[in-house]
Structure 1
Amino acid sequence: MKDNLYTIPLTDAFTAHDECPFCFIHRTLEQDAISFTLGASYMEDDIRAETDHLGFCKDHYKKLYDYGNRLGLAFILHTHYQKLEKDLDKLLSSTELPSPGFFERMKRSTPASSPTTDSLHKQLDSCYICERIDRNFTRYMETFFHLLQTNDEFKALFLNSKGMCLEHFTMLLEMAPSQLKGENKTFFLETSKKMMKENLKRIEDEIGWFIDKNDYRNASAPWKNSQDALPRGIQKLAGIYVQDEPFKKAH
């Protein structure tokens, strides 16, 4: 297989025999983005302008804190606060409580929106790291579809994989119509659905044996593939590695 910027990580992900190669890629992209954000780049004006504008989501604030470069994070937060204070001062200077419409008044639990609250939600939903990951992650998915159609060696890796997690399976199904045509589209749809069903059943059986193995009557029986069934089972459903330790700066 001829490697390039995107095929090498894809090949690594599919040869890792992970429950989902795209979880594997996403974790790598996230760790790279955290290292980049709290590396020398945070002192660059163009990068700081982006982090000042976008901020971070809750998950990535926690992961940036866990990473260990507290001084670097302090610099980033300090100028982000300065930018946020200026933006909020302008935004809140003419803010009034939103006026609910007729149907919102009828349903008292329905929140009323306004330009102010819409702007605040946009700020809360933005994240520099998420956006950096998403830009690259989409390219990996596009490369996946390209290789699936053009490279028999990669197709074999796909067929010998454990399929995808539910989240990334859904994303691939959404992208497939724009990436595949004819026989290739049919092949991917039928094969990926079959793989999903088979691997969900495999994990269900492994979790079932994990439960049975904790019965004293099975104390001497082998674990088979069930000892780590819980973290793998959660990954298959949610696309996360619950067993991972916090990602930290190398010393």
Structure 2
Amino acid sequence: MKENIATIPLIKAFNAKDECPFCNLEREAEQHAVSFILGSAYMEDDIREKTDATGFCRHHFKMMYDYGNRLGNALILSTHLKKLNQELAKEMSDFAPGKSSLLKRMKRTDTTTEHEPQTALGAWISKKTTDCYVCDHFRKIYGRYLDTFFDLYLKNEEFRQLFEESKGFCLPHFGDLIETAENKLNDTQKKEFYPKAFALMQENMERLQKEVAWFVEKNDYRNKDKDWGNSADSIQRGMQKCAGGYPADEVFRAKL
């Protein structure tokens, strides 16, 4: 298969043969971003300007803390907090409470579903706690990976075979793939792609269900001498299939 700078990461991810090639790409991207930020980039004014404005999500703050470089983390956090405090002070100064009513006061607070913020301050906080420099790094290239997937799928027989012999995708990335297919494929191509993608997902979801079920059965003393098969690591792979990511990954740390 002829490879180029746009296709190499995607082909490499499919050749990894794990439960989701897009999870593989996402892990590579976020590790690269964290290494870049905490390597030396945090000393560059243009990078600090971006991290000051955007900040990080809870997951990637934890990843940065685990990575190491306490001074680098402190410098990034110091100027980010300074900008955050300036903006927060303005938002609170401009805050104007909405009109109250008996109906609103009687209504139970519902936190079980997502609601649009009712105040400008709430909207600002929502944005500040969901924006993330590392997440943005992957989002910027993720669409390109999805486009490249369909470009290769339509034009390259070897890649189609890689896809058809893969273990499918995690549910979140599978959803993105299907949504992208709606725009990237014509009606005839959809009639070919969807049955293949659906069969691939069904086969591999059922495979994992059986592997996890055997993990449970294997812990019965009557099965202690039987072979584990592929079930020994089925818990983490099952979690990945359901929600994405790599639950069993070791903490990503700076190489000393």
Extract unaligned runs of 5+ from structure 2. Answer: none
**Does 1:95 find its partner at 2:95?**
yes
Give the aligned partner of residue 186 of structure 2. 181
Correspondence for 2:155 among 138, 150, 154? 150
Could you list the per-position Cα deviations for residues 205-241 of structure 1 after superposition, in whole angstroms to 9, with x for gaps in the alignment?
1111111111111111111111111111111101021
In structure 1, C-alpha distance between the alignment counterparts of 2:128 and 2:169, rounded to whole Å: 32
Q: Distance in 2 between matches of 1:43 and 1:154?
A: 41
- Please give the alpha-carbon distance, in whole angstroms, between the structure 2 residues aligned to 1:182 and 1:3: 28
Change (3 A) 1:93 1:9: same
Of the three residues 221, 224, 239, the one matched with 1:234 is 239
Following superposition, the deviation at residue 183 of structure 1 comes to 2.7
Q: Secondary structure at the match of 2:230?
A: coil
Matches within 5 A, 1:192-231: 192-231=197-236
State the partner residue of 1:19.
19
Instruction: Report the Cα distance in structure 2 between the residues aligned to 1:65 and 1:80, rounded to whole angstroms.
Output: 15
Query: Structure 2 matches for 1:1-251, cutoff 5 A?
Result: 1-100=1-100, 104-105=104-105, 107-109=107-109, 113-251=118-256
**Gapped runs of 5+ residues in structure 1?**
none
Q: TM-score, normalised by structure 1?
A: 0.95
Q: 1:4 to 1:106 in 2, by over 3 A?
A: farther
- The whole-number CA distance in structure 2 between the counterparts of 1:123 and 1:99 is 25
Cα distance, 1:194–1:100 mapped onto 2, change above 3 Å: farther
Q: Distance in 1 between matches of 2:35 and 2:135?
A: 14
Distance in 1, matches of 2:63 and 2:71, equals 15
User: What are the Cα deviations for residues 70-120 of structure 1, in whole angstroms up to 9, with x where unaligned?
Assistant: 111111001101111111122211324443578644524158711122112
Q: Aligned-pair distance for 1:141?
A: 1.0
Count of residues paired in the alignment: 251
The one-letter code of the counterpart of 1:210 is F
Using the TM superposition, name which of 98-107 and 151-160 deviates more.
98-107
The CA distance in 1 between the partners of 2:103 and 2:82, in whole Å, is 39
